[in-house]
């Protein structure tokens, strides 16, 4: 492109290319600064969904302000041209760093994880989920500054519902595989995988078809490799918990990682020569993905009907005519009845005294007996008078409440669920991502091109 974009930005070289667009290195002719410009392909700009996602990314970035987030500068819409101008990060993304140099040292990985978690904390506080946390979207600045999180192309607001969830299969959280929407805890799951790969040079779930990869996320956990210290592994394992409620918040991770950093080595280990060993996820009482921390509604796969035990419990709690009232209200109802019965006995005793002593009753004061004098022995008991008391059949004292746990886990989602394919072909033996940034989502460096955003 020889002509400056919008008469201001002169393109110099291509940084990355993807199916939807291209990222260029360019010079701002007004300020003289170097910038990165993401330009949608003309055919993508004509697609309402693609164009809408591009505009959403620009809007999300404009709401965030943190040194670890690439700052947007300009949005250009001119005919069939849609372009987003951003700060240029001179450096290399973590995925390429692992391929070209090898794993990070444990201390370096802990520092990187702490910086990444801090960035995600800011994003989550703004009510936004990144949705694609992976090494290819983490920039390591050449000047040694804090890491930068890039590519908000699939970011979404937490309150957004009814939209398809996109992501990279190698880094997608188990609840998303089960059909739920992306949440902040899904980003935390991505942090755990980033730390694992930074230390080993491999993603533990990569290899085979998309269906194989997704199934591993739900059924398996990696076994701790020898090169990962136990202090750091305990944090990684927390992040990789199957249920979102078992993972820490992103806000808690920086302090956790910095606390163990002094115990970690500055010497990097070797990349794993074989695929990581996986073990079955532990079976717990919470076998379903119905954690209280999960905001989205669970989508039950068609192959399994939703359990009705929860509906049964709710019906009992909501039914005010339940045959099992609590004991406290019953005591309160019996108190006034008891007082009334005592008063009635006192009145009857007084009338009997006057009749037996021969005093005549004064007209209009006490009525003549109707021929059947009510004896105190025939006075109704409290139980007979209390119309609100429960039936004689009492509930069992040790009755077990119906279980609210589903009888089985939801089945795996079929197909790719709208996720970007970043898992390689079926012959992939499980190495670290062999495809370079730019082949799945635009905004990352391509092989043979200068690094940058």
Could you report the per-residue pLDDT of 97-152, keeping only the tens digit for each? Answer: 999 999 999 999 999 999 999 999 999 999 999 999 999 999 999 999 999 999 99
pLDDT at 435: 38
What CATH number corresponds to the domain at position 59?
3.30.200.20
Residue 375 domain-assigned (yes or no): no
Please determine, for residue 399, whether its predicted confidence score (pLDDT) is greater than 50.
no
What CATH number corresponds to the domain at position 138?
1.10.510.10
Please determine, for residue 343, whether its predicted confidence score (pLDDT) is greater than 70.
no
Residue 148 domain-assigned (yes or no): yes
Average pLDDT value for residue range 14-38: 93
Residue 380 domain-assigned (yes or no): no
C-alpha to C-alpha distances, 180 to 90, 220, 263, 296, 440, nearest whole angstrom: 36, 19, 38, 6, 22
Owner of token pair 């089945």: 411
Please report the DSSP string for 277-306 in residue order: PEEEPPP-S--SS--TT--SPP---TTSPP
Instruction: Name the domain boundary from 283, 298, 313.
Output: 298
Please check whether residues 135 and 222 belong to one and the same domain.
yes
Range of the structural domain that residue 251 is part of: 91-298
Instruction: Name the domain boundary from 87, 113, 129.
Output: 87
Please check whether residues 139 and 36 belong to one and the same domain.
no
| Average model confidence (pLDDT) across the chain | 73
Average pLDDT value for residue range 38-55: 91
Please determine, for residue 201, whether its predicted confidence score (pLDDT) is greater than 60.
yes
Instruction: Name the domain boundary from 251, 282, 298.
Output: 298
Which residue has better confidence, 299 or 149?
149
Average pLDDT value for residue range 400-426: 41
Instruction: List Cβ neighbours of 51 (8 Å cut-off, separation of 6 or more).
Output: 40, 44, 45, 82
Residue 238 domain-assigned (yes or no): yes
Residue 102 domain-assigned (yes or no): yes
Q: Give the Cα separation of 300 and 313 in Å (integer).
A: 20
Please check whether residues 281 and 163 belong to one and the same domain.
yes
pLDDT at 346: 52
Owner of token pair 């997608």: 172
pLDDT band at 447 (very low <50, low <70, confident <90, very high): very low
Please check whether residues 113 and 262 belong to one and the same domain.
yes
CA 416-216-276 angle, to 5 degrees, is 125
Q: Give the Cα separation of 298 and 183 in Å (integer).
A: 13
Residue 372 domain-assigned (yes or no): no
Least confident of 251-260, 345-354, 423-432: 423-432
Please check whether residues 55 and 103 belong to one and the same domain.
no
pLDDT at 161: 59
107: Cα within 13 Å, side-chain hemisphere = 7
Please check whether residues 168 and 249 belong to one and the same domain.
yes
Please check whether residues 102 and 236 belong to one and the same domain.
yes
Please check whether residues 150 and 285 belong to one and the same domain.
yes
Please check whether residues 70 and 217 belong to one and the same domain.
no
Please check whether residues 132 and 243 belong to one and the same domain.
yes
Please check whether residues 73 and 205 belong to one and the same domain.
no
Residue 416 domain-assigned (yes or no): no
Average pLDDT value for residue range 4-16: 94
Q: How many helices (H) and strands (E) does the chain have?
A: 12, 12
Q: Any bridge partners for residue 82, and if so which?
A: 77
pLDDT digits (tens, 9 = 90+) for 414-426: 334 345 444 443 3
Please check whether residues 33 and 173 belong to one and the same domain.
no
pLDDT digits (tens, 9 = 90+) for 385-394: 344 444 444 4
Residue 228 domain-assigned (yes or no): yes
Domain count, the chain: 2
pLDDT at 181: 84
Count of positions (residues) in the chain: 453
pLDDT at 18: 81
Which residue has better confidence, 419 or 69?
69
Active site residue ranges: 132
């Amino acid at each position: 492109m020889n002509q400056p974009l919008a008469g201001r930005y002169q393109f110099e070289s291509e940084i990355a290319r993807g199916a939807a667009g291209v990222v260029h290195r360019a010079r701002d002719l007004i300020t003289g600064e170097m910038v990165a410009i993401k330009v949608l392909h003309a055919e993508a700009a004509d697609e309402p969904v693609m164009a809408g996602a591009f505009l959403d990314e620009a809007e999300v970035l404009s709401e965030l302000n943190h040194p670890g987030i690439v700052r947007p500068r300009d949005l250009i819409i001119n005919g069939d041209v849609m372009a987003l101008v951003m700060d240029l990060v001179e450096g290399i993304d973590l995925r390429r760093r692992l391929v070209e140099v090898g794993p990070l040292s444990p201390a370096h990985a802990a520092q990187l994880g702490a910086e990444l978690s801090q960035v995600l904390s800011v994003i989550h506080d703004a009510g936004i989920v990144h949705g694609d946390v992976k090494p290819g979207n983490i920039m390591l600045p050449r000047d040694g500054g804090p890491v930068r999180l890039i590519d908000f192309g699939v970011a979404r607001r937490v309150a957004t519902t009814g939209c398809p969830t996109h992501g990279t299969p190698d880094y997608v959280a188990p609840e998303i595989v089960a059909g739920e929407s992306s949440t902040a805890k899904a980003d935390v799951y991505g942090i755990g995988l980033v730390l694992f790969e930074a230390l080993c040079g491999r993603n533990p779930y990569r290899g085979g078809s998309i269906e194989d990869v997704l199934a591993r996320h739900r059924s398996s956990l990696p076994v701790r490799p020898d090169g990962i210290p136990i202090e750091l592994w305990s944090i990684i394992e927390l992040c990789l918990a199957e249920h979102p409620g078992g993972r820490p918040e992103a806000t808690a991770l920086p302090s956790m990682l910095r606390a163990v950093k002094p115990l970690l080595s500055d010497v990097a280990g070797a990349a794993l020569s074989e695929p990581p060993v996986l073990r079955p996820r532990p079976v717990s009482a919470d076998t379903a993905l119905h954690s209280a921390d999960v905001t989205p509604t669970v989508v039950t796969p068609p192959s399994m009907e939703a359990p009705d035990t929860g509906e049964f419990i709710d019906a009992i709690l909501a039914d005010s005519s339940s045959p099992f009232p609590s004991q406290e209200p019953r005591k309160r109802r019996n108190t006034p009845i008891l007082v009334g019965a005592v008063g009635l006995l006192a009145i009857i005793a007084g009338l009997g005294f006057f009749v037996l002593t021969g005093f005549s009753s004064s007209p209009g004061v006490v009525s003549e007996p109707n021929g059947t004098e009510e004896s105190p022995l025939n006075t109704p008991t409290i139980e007979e008078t209390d119309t609100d008391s429960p039936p004689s059949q009492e509930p069992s004292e040790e009755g077990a409440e119906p279980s609210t746990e589903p009888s089985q886990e939801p089945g795996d989602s079929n197909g790719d669920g709208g996720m970007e394919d970043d898992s390689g072909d079926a012959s992939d033996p499980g190495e670290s991502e062999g495809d370079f940034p730019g082949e799945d989502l635009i905004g990352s460096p391509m092989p043979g091109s200068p690094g940058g955003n």
